[in-house]
Structure 1
Amino acid sequence: DLEYRYLVTLEFSERVIDIREQFPLHPVASVQDIARRRGIRYPLYAGTTVPFVMTTDFVVTVRSDDGTVSEFARTVKYADELVPNNRLVRTLEKLELEKAFWVQRGVDWKLVTEASMSDVIASNLVWLRGGAEIARELQDDALQASFVGAIADAGTHDRTLSSLLRTVSYRLRRPYPDAVRLFRHLVWHKVLLVDLERPIKATSPAPRIQTASDGLLHCKRAA
C-alpha cells in the first residue's frame, strides 16, 4: 500500500516524466564489490549460491523549472521495518549497499516512509487516481465543459461534495456515478484544482471553486 501511495503521488506530479519500479542494480558485480569493500555479506537467492539481484523501488526522472532533467532513486519502507529487532542490522546493510550504488553514479538516493507523505494527500490521490481513465462516452469535450459549467452554477456554499455532484448530475441529466467519475477525472487531470490537504470525500465540504478567465474552474490547490 505504501509503495502504491508513493507511485500515485509521483504520477500526479507535473515534474515527473518517467517512473521505473523495482529498478535492478546492475551490474551485480559492482554491488558485490561495494559489499566486499564494506565487509557486508552480499545476498544470495535462498538455498543457492546465485547472487541476488538487488533492486531500488523507484527510479524517477524529473524535469526542473529551468528545463533540466535529472534522476533520483527512492526506497520505500514502513517505519516499523526500521525499529530495532533481530533483522534490522541486515536491513541496514542492504540499504547501505543500495545507497552506495547510487552515490557512485551521482544519483540522489533517499529512504521514504509513511512519515514522508501526508496521509490525507495520499488518500485523496489514490481515490482520484481511479478516475484517471473513464468510459469513452464521458470523454466528450462538450460534456466535460458542461460539467464544469454546472459546478460553477451549482455553487459550493454549505454543500457536501456529494450534494454538489448530485445537483450537477440532475442538471446534466446524467447518473450520479457519472458525475463522481467526471469529478475524479477532471481533478486528476488538473482541469479542476482542489486543495489536496483537505479530505475529499462524499461527506466532506465541497471544495471552494473560482471561475477562471478561460472559463474553467479552479479550486485552491496545495503547492
Structure 2
Amino acid sequence: MSKVKRRTEVTVNKETVTKLNKWKKDLLEKYRPYLTVRDVNQIGRRHWLFCPIQKRHVHLLSDGEYRTYKKILSSKSVVKIEEQYALDIDETLDIAIALNAIHPRDWETNLGYVMTTDFVVTYMNKSGSTYRVAYTFKYWEQIYEEVDGKVNKIKPRTWQKFDIERQYWKARGVDYRVLTERDATKAEAWNFDYFELAYDFKASKSELTEFAIGFVEAWLSAPHKWLQDHFKTLAGKTGKSFQHIQSLFQYMGLHNLLPINCDKHIRLFRPVELEL
C-alpha cells in the first residue's frame, strides 16, 4: 500500500511566498496575471497582447490558450476573464495530501510551485447575477488517446494536477472544466479577431437594425455569393462605402447581433453562413 505523503516533503521558500502575497495585494487595485510570457521558458508560441475589450494586457502561454481566450471572450455573458490565476499554495498543498497526490514542485530541491489556473471567467446570467467558471487548457493529445473508438485519459500525473485544481475551485463553489483545442478552433479565433477590428466602430441602433435586415435579405436571396459581393450590394443600395458596410458586419459579429456561423473561417472571397 502507498503511504500518504507528508506535507513536509514539499516545502515553500520565502521568495515564493513574497511573490504570491504581492500578487494578492496588487489584485486590490486591478487584475494582473500571476505568470507572464516572460516567466515561462518553454518551447512554443506565446502571446502578450492588449485586449481592447478588457482594456489591459493579457498573457497567453500557447496558441491554444490564445484561441480559448478569444472563444470565451466572444460570449455575450462574459463579464471578465482572469488568466494565469494563482492558487493559494498552502491550500493546494493540503489538497495534494488529501488526494495522496504529488504537488507540483522542483524535483531536485522539492520546493513547491504556486499552481495557476489558465482562466477564471466571470459570467452574468439573465437575472443579472454573476458566477465564475475556472478553465484549464490542454492539447487533446497530451491528455487523451483514442483506441478502437474509445477515448481514454493518459498522463495520470497531469490529471492529478487537474484534480488538485478541481478541489480548490470546488471549495469556492466554482465549476472547473478542462478544455482542448477541440473546444476553441483556429477558425473561431480568426473570426473573433476579424470582428474585433470594429471594436471602436460607432453606429446608431437604427443603422444597425437597417443593416441587419438588409444583410439577411441579401443573404437569403443569394446564400452562395461571396461575402464581399453582399457588401458591395449593400454599399450600392445605401450609398455607404464598402469599408463602412464591412465594419457594420464586423460590429454585428462582435456583439452577436447576427446569427453568423463561426465554425469556418470568414473570408471576403467566400460565402458566409447564417444560422437562421
Query: Cα–Cα, structure 1 residues 46 and 151, in superposed 2: closer, same or farther, change >3 Å?
Result: farther
Residues 1:106 and 2:173 are matched in the alignment: yes
Q: Map 1:3-82 to 2 at 5 A.
A: 3-26=65-88, 28-45=89-106, 48-82=109-143
Query: Cα–Cα, structure 1 residues 33 and 170, in superposed 2: closer, same or farther, change >3 Å?
Result: same
Instruction: Work out whether residues 154 and 164 of structure 1, in 8 Å CA contact, stay in contact via their aligned partners in 2.
Output: no
TM-score (norm 2): 0.60
Query: Cα–Cα, structure 1 residues 116 and 44, in superposed 2: closer, same or farther, change >3 Å?
Result: same
Where structure 1 has 5 or more consecutive residues not aligned to the other structure, the ranges are: 209-218
Residue of structure 2 equivalent to 1:115? 182
Instruction: Work out whether residues 79 and 122 of structure 2, in 8 Å CA contact, stay in contact via their aligned partners in 1.
Output: yes
Q: Map 1:141-160 to 2 at 5 A.
A: 141=204, 148=211, 151-152=214-215, 155-156=218-219, 157-158=221-222, 159-160=225-226
Counterpart of 1:71, as a letter, is: R
Root-mean-square deviation over aligned CA pairs: 3.4
TM-score (norm 1): 0.72
Return 138-147 or 73-82, whichever deviates more. 138-147
CA distance in 1, matches of 2:216, 2:163: 56
Aligned pair count reads 202
Identity among equivalent positions (%) equals 24
Counterpart of 2:175, as a letter, is: D
How far the C-alpha of 1:46 sits from its partner, in A, is 7.0
Instruction: Work out whether residues 260 and 273 of structure 2, in 8 Å CA contact, stay in contact via their aligned partners in 1.
Output: yes
Residue of structure 2 equivalent to 1:214? none
Query: Cα–Cα, structure 1 residues 38 and 182, in superposed 2: closer, same or farther, change >3 Å?
Result: same
Counterpart of 2:143, as a letter, is: L
More helix by share: 1
Query: Cα–Cα, structure 1 residues 147 and 198, in superposed 2: closer, same or farther, change >3 Å?
Result: farther
Counterpart of 2:81, as a letter, is: I
Among candidates 162, 178, 184, match of residue 95 of structure 1: 162
How far the C-alpha of 1:140 sits from its partner, in A, is 5.3
Residues 1:127 and 2:191 are matched in the alignment: yes
Instruction: Work out whether residues 25 and 53 of structure 1, in 8 Å CA contact, stay in contact via their aligned partners in 2.
Output: yes
Query: Cα–Cα, structure 1 residues 148 and 44, in superposed 2: closer, same or farther, change >3 Å?
Result: same
CA distance in 2, matches of 1:19, 1:145: 28
Counterpart of 1:88, as a letter, is: K
Query: Cα–Cα, structure 1 residues 61 and 170, in superposed 2: closer, same or farther, change >3 Å?
Result: same
* Cα deviations by residue, 1:190-211 (Å, 9 ceiling, x for unpaired): 3444244565332332456xxx
Query: Cα–Cα, structure 1 residues 79 and 128, in superposed 2: closer, same or farther, change >3 Å?
Result: closer
Residue of structure 1 equivalent to 2:56? none
CA distance in 1, matches of 2:124, 2:212: 33
Q: Map 1:155-174 to 2 at 5 A.
A: 155-156=218-219, 157-158=221-222, 159-169=225-235, 172=239, 174=241
How far the C-alpha of 1:5 sits from its partner, in A, is 2.2
